[in-house]
Amino acid sequence: MPRRESPQHLKARTRKIIGRLKKNYPHANTALTFSNPLQLLIATILSAQCTDERVNMVTPGLFAKYRSAHDFANAIQEELEREIYSTGFFRNKARNIIACCKELVAKHDGDVPSDMEALVNLPGVGRKTANCVLGGAFGRAEGVVVDTHVLRLSGRLGFSREKTPQKVEQGLMKIVPRKEWYAISNLLILHGRNICDARKPACPECKLHDLCPSAEKYLKMFWR
């Protein structure tokens, strides 16, 4: 367990980490393919327990058929289930997508709202999905997207000792400048995929090793 450090030192180290990650991943953004807020909302719902690559294989045909919230709201659930089957949990996702879009039509004229409270009140939409949509589609920083990569790297980098996405998000919001709230998620996700693997982090290749309180442990464990 990384030792505790002062809040001032932690904030300064966090800024250095963000700076280095930006140099390594200058074009970091969500890997989900979308053209408008509704498409990002649907893609994010589909991405639960599924890879972005798989979602991006499904959505071109899906978005060609369902072009608006009205279209999704009027979808036949069994048909939608077949169309999103490969993303997993297809029954629950189809049910949520239809219910969510019915709510968009009934309360938001078919448009995706651009504020946190309205988004999280939509069926099947939690803070993670809302943060992804707000940051990716509207450029608004209301929180931090915490997926499995962000959760894992937040612990390894000493950003947070918490174990739940909600508590990790609150911790990150205290040490990461607000203007970087959306960026930090995409940066950590890319770094988690490319370097800081769950099973065997590639510490010898990592540009953060001198700023990472877990590097020495993993170097001894896997690379010596």
Active site residues: 128, 147
**Max Cα distance, the chain (Å):** 60
Q: Do 127 and 169 contact (CB within 8 A), yes or no?
A: yes
Nearest to 218 by CA among 150, 157, 146, 147: 157
Nearest to 71 by CA among 81, 83, 63: 63
What letter represents residue 90's amino acid?
F
Q: Do 37 and 108 contact (CB within 8 A), yes or no?
A: no
Q: Do 32 and 137 contact (CB within 8 A), yes or no?
A: no
- CA dihedral in degrees (179, 48, 187, 190; nearest 10)? -170
Q: Do 83 and 61 contact (CB within 8 A), yes or no?
A: yes
Please state, in angstroms and rounded to a whole number, the distance separating the CA atoms of residues 155 and 218: 13
